[in-house]
Chains A and B, each alone.
Chain A
Amino acid sequence: MRSEALEPGGSPPAGGRDRALRAAAPGRRTRLVLACTAVAALAYWALGLSLGELVPRPAGRAVLGELLGAALRPAIAREVPIPGAPPLLLDLLAVAWRTLAFAVAGMGCALLLALPLLLLSTDALWARVLERGGALGAAARLVRSGARLASALLRSVHELLWAVLLLSAFGVEPFTGVVAIALPFAGTLARLGSEMIDESDPRPALALRHLGAGSAAELFLGRLPLSLGDLSAYAFYRFECALRSAAVLGFFGYDTLGLRLKTSFNHLRYGEFWTYLYALLAMVLVFETLSALLRRRFVG
């Protein structure tokens, strides 16, 4: 059950299954569905959409036909030879490695940034100071809110927008892509991580306190080990997202799979397009399998 909660990329539902079930009492359910449908219909109407626009234009239809036709015969050599360029499959390997490098570097930096934010955002770290109250308690509350606000701001801006912002500020420099992934991912990790720690069983930490442990020992030895399994499972899931983001950064000029996907599509080299797309899918699926495997072993 915990593994489901890990998935949505938001936070796990705070309550258990029973509480969630009560939310779905019959009368309320109908009203909820009706309200959601009404709001969606309103959005559809306000956007001025029509179903007729879903039929591709003649030009679009031709592209669609050729694109789908190429799906079964991905290119293994360049469709249009480029003098001096490496063979397609060698280039594919290099670009796949760079995509992986962006994702790993982004995720690594995100973890480094998330760790302090995460600890400062937990209630567990501040429990004793808050109990004592006074000026120190107020200061603690301020630091905790500050950390939570910082992680909220970090994750509320999409990684592509961070990339555009950093490219505008620094100019074309590969490391900006790493930072663009690291910032929002750190925000998400900090929020989820702190929630996981605060929702973990407080009793071991309490036992440590009665043995005379300090706040730090309580947090690091009492609370953290309990949620480490969940935390690493979630980090692996986010890594999969980082891989996708690293690929998409290519659309903005970084030398990852997205750049190849964009140029091969724009130059009508659909066979090459599918080769790069299959490579991306393979990478994502490998990590998805790996993270599912790890999650099954270490969570719940």
Chain B
Amino acid sequence: MSSTRHASETPEQKLARLDDARPRAHLRNAVVLGLFGIFVAALTLGGLHPLALFGEQRLANASNFAAKLVPRPFREGAEFSLSAYADWLAGIWTGGAGQATWTTLQIAVLATFMAAAIALLLSPAADRRLASADPYLDPRPTGWRRALAGAMRLAFVLARAIPEYLLAFLALALLGRGAWPAVLALALHNAGILARLETEVLENLAARPLSGLRQLGGTRRQIAHLAAQPLAAGRFAAFASYRLETCLRETVALGLLGTLSLGYVLGEARARRAYDEFVVVLGIGAVLVVLTDALARRVRARLRRT
């Protein structure tokens, strides 16, 4: 027992020993210090001056912008009334924002679903436990399966490392306008994320029940799809529902490239310098994201409760 081993030490010795045993985060501290140095450098030498926002010209621009946030009918002299305001809002909704809201929702749902499907199909191939000589029984690595698992992991990392916006930009150049570039970009990027998460969950499942299936003669594929993935289904569903919210946010932004989501309406309002409409559409997008988040949270809570 440690208490008897240290029974003879003085309080000072004990303090010194405890201090030595205290976990230290040298690497973290070094990285944090380095990043802080870059932070200071960026704001000073790097040309990212916070005070530049408060220059005379900038403030004049901002007040100009603020004046344009007043809905146009009232800026042009109409008497303010709630019904006139509601009419103006309804005009924005029927004038494209409503349709774009639906499109945004559809793109995000389809992309998340595709990402989840790809992740479910590919993740077993990246599971290092399944890639061993005899899954769950003999952990020694074997040739091509192990290489495949490594290649899969690399593919997941790369899919995740390329920003969705860049993927959509490239897909747009190859496929032309439409919803596909946005759907594909989001599906690919999120497939990388979800596949990696699913692989991690699969690798952390309790080995004993699965090794039993192996001893009964189950193949790798049977174990992965019929036992391991069903066991991991709850967590996977939770991860996928988190991605739906991110996809929605991202779909709105991808509209700036020309997909007919809310971002398209935003870009169009900006081009007309109709900033009053711009912030309303921005608000519609925000409400859409917040509502989806609340709904997903409800669903997750209900799934957990019973």
Chain A contacts to B: CB under 8 angstroms:
1, 4, 7-11, 13-15, 17, 19-24, 26, 28-29, 32, 36-37, 39-40, 43-44, 46-49, 53-54, 56-57, 60-61, 63-64, 67, 97-98, 100-102, 104-105, 107-108, 152-153, 156-161, 164-165, 168-171, 173-179, 232, 236, 239, 244-245, 247-248, 251, 258, 261-262, 265, 277, 280-281, 284-285, 288, 290, 293-294, 297-298
Contacts and interface: CB of A to CB of B under 8 A. Distances in A.
A160 B163 CA distance: 12
Contacts of A7: 193, 196-197, 239
Given A10-B242, A156-B290, A47 B106 contact: yes
A62 B72 CA distance: 46
A174 B165 CA distance: 20
B162 interface: yes
Interface string B274-302: 01001100100111011001000000110
B263 interface: yes
B120 to A, nearest CB: 10
B304 interface: yes
B74 interface: no
Contacts of A48: 179
Nearest to B306: A22
B234 interface: yes
B109 A40 contact: yes
Given A101-B42, A281-B162, A294-B31, A11 B237 contact: no
3 smallest CB-CB distances across A and B, nearest first, come from A10-B242, A40-B113, A101-B42
Interface stretch (B7-15, B87-95, B136-144, B243-251): B243-251
Q: Which residue among B174, B234, B249, B301 has the maximum number of chain A CB atoms within 10 Å of its CB?
A: B234
Nearest to B38: A104
Q: Is the interface of B mostly helix, strand, loop or mixed?
A: helix
A107 to B, nearest CB: 8
Interface of B: 25, 27-28, 31-32, 35-36, 38-39, 41-43, 46-50, 52-53, 57-58, 61-62, 65-66, 102-103, 105-107, 109-110, 113-114, 116, 157-158, 161-163, 165-166, 169-170, 173-176, 178-180, 183-184, 193, 196-197, 200-201, 204, 230-235, 237-239, 241-243, 245-246, 249-250, 252-253, 256, 263, 266-267, 270, 275, 278-279, 282, 285-287, 289-290, 293, 300-301, 303-304, 306
Contacts of A53: 175, 178, 180
A60 B289 contact: no
Given A44-B110, A161-B263, A248-B163, A10 B250 contact: no
Contacts of A102: 42, 48
Contacts of B46: 97-98, 101, 105
Given A7-B197, A15-B304, A24-B231, 8 more contacts: A21-B231, A24-B230, A24-B237, A49-B183, A157-B286, A161-B285, A171-B57, A244-B163
A105 B253 contact: no
Q: Is the interface of A mostly helix, strand, loop or mixed?
A: helix
Contacts of A36: 113, 116
A294 B27 contact: yes
29 contacts: A4-B200, A14-B301, A20-B235, A20-B238, A21-B235, A37-B113, A43-B109, A47-B107, A47-B179, A49-B183, A54-B175, A98-B46, A101-B41, A101-B42, A152-B290, A153-B290, A157-B249, A157-B282, A160-B256, A161-B252, A164-B266, A170-B53, A175-B48, A176-B53, A244-B163, A251-B165, A281-B162, A294-B31, A298-B25
B161 A156 contact: no
Contacts of A32: 233, 237
A49 B256 CA distance: 20
A70 to B, nearest CB: 13
A259 to B, nearest CB: 12
A200 to B, nearest CB: 17
A175 B52 contact: yes
A67 B16 CA distance: 62
B234 A24 contact: yes
A277 B161 CA distance: 10
Contact of A8 (B157, B179, B193): B193
B304 A56 contact: no
A10 B256 contact: no
B242 A9 contact: yes
Contacts of A165: 278-279, 282
Contacts of B110: 40, 43-44, 47, 49
